[in-house]
Structure 1
Amino acid sequence: MTAERLEALTPDPRRTEGVHPDHADLDRLDVGELVRVLADDQRGAVEAVRAAAPALTRAVEVALPRLQRGGRLVYVGAGTSGRLGVLDATELTPTFSWPASRAVPLIAGGEQAIREAVEGAEDDREAGAADVHGAGVGPDDVLLGIAASGTTPYVLGALDAARAAGALTVGLSNNPGTPLLLAADCPVLLDTGPEVISGSTRLKAGTAQKIALNTFSSAVMVRLGKVYGNLMVDVKATNAKLEGRAVRLVRHATGADEIAAREALSGSGGSVKVAIVMLLLNVSATEANARLDAQNGHARAALEEE
């Protein structure tokens, strides 16, 4: 038997590559049952993230000091994982006014790969390292390496380069014991097991990655003072929908009427956080900004300041 034939017969140890034991007749299901099966299997993504909560907690706690010093979040992935990294990085600016320059998405194959497959890009370990060097990754940065398989060469090359540069590395993989988890400073296992459509990690493996990234970045932003109570007070109002949301947030936090909320927002340059401090303390925008600056942007601390 040839080595190639033997390799073909050897089961892939990665759980995401396994054949799901419960759905051998998936193609025979009627549409209603097919939709139910696909939807129900997604519950495994939530369970995987819940199991990873301690690892995510540690990653947030270790990342915070670097980000408080001005470090960046750098996302690295290929295919679905890379696109999820691009999505999380992109959404931080409108949601939390996080500077776009401090959320750096790197995807195997470059921007073209966001919309179409770039053949072989994920297999290029040197390209991952080169992209990290090109982004100027340094000691205060936090690199999130995302790979369902945990073996993607592009991501592993990026992770090695980031560690060599002194950055903190967080690895998200859907398979235990993989090179990505072994190499990362903060390994996060999202053990989702086999997919309903075997090997299609855009399903619950990708969902688990999306939830984990949302959880990590949102927790970081809360701890950095981007939230007051559970209100997204650093929202960047760049369209009519968000302008309306800003007014509602100010009214909810302060009890002010719409006219007062709009006036405060106008005086604050559109900052929900500043407007809230202005109204609750009856101070000018200048004073509100000074109080927030003194408390590193934390609205609650600014409001409690004597």
Structure 2
Amino acid sequence: MNSSALSHALLSISLAFAAVLLTNSGEAAEPTSEPQPLRVMSYNIRYGTARDGDDAWVHRQEPMVKYLKESKVDILGLQEALAFQISDLLEGLPEFKRSGVARDDGKDKGEFSPLLYRHERFELVREGTFWLSATHEVVGSKGWDAMLPRVCSWTELKDKSTGKRFIAASTHFDHMGQEARAESGKLIARRLKELAADLPVVLVGDFNARLASDPIQNVLAKPDSASDWRLVDAQGVSAKKPTGPTATFNGFKAIPEGDNKIDFIFVRDFVVLDHVVENPLTPAGRFVSDHLPVIANIEFPKESVEK
């Protein structure tokens, strides 16, 4: 073989090898890691302008940041959070980003039910907020007999290490309107089914209602008879025995006896590994909020198909 032919042959081999490398590098770019559990929390943090004396936000901010950092959650759904409280938390928790808007103006006026997520682990795919009313796309709308506007903020997240996607949502039902709570349950089930389709879902919130009540049962019911789509209570399907108090509202006074749980985590197409209600305290021995945080470790089912 002369030198020209040899050079041509070597060039052809080099180009073919480069093509293989490009193909393989393209495949390697796809996430292939085994899914890791997601640690999810629901926490009503008590609105920060309340005149709560020794339990005012100024006394609770630092203990709450410390608790949340130590809890090592991946996704945090808050309720009653005002804009300045979210800023305070994110300043102390820079590993998180926020999704969600305020209920009064769809921007920053009034309370949020936001989601905070670890931005190094998750990529934001899409997000939104709807109002708990018959006109759920109307910003600031009040539903049925509700005293205040209420929202559900949701986000579609993608786990960067696996490529798996899911919907996370946070909400806070009205504390006065009985009809509003019942109708809000139906609306949330219907809207999350529309938004998620076949994606797994985790919904957290302060529902101002107990598990056996109509509002919660409406959340857990099938949105339509033609589908098997439905949410389940994470505590009820936990692989390990749930731990912690059976009530979640303390009113800055005491944890009541009996089953008085109004803060929940609901899931669809997730395996619930464990479920706990915790009771964080300030250095002064006071409650960090007038609600207790609810935490669940969840994971994608083994047969779950990557979206």
Task: Please report the TM-score for the alignment, with normalisation by the length of structure 1.
Answer: 0.31
Q: Which has the higher helix share?
A: 1
Task: Please report the TM-score for the alignment, with normalisation by the length of structure 2.
Answer: 0.31
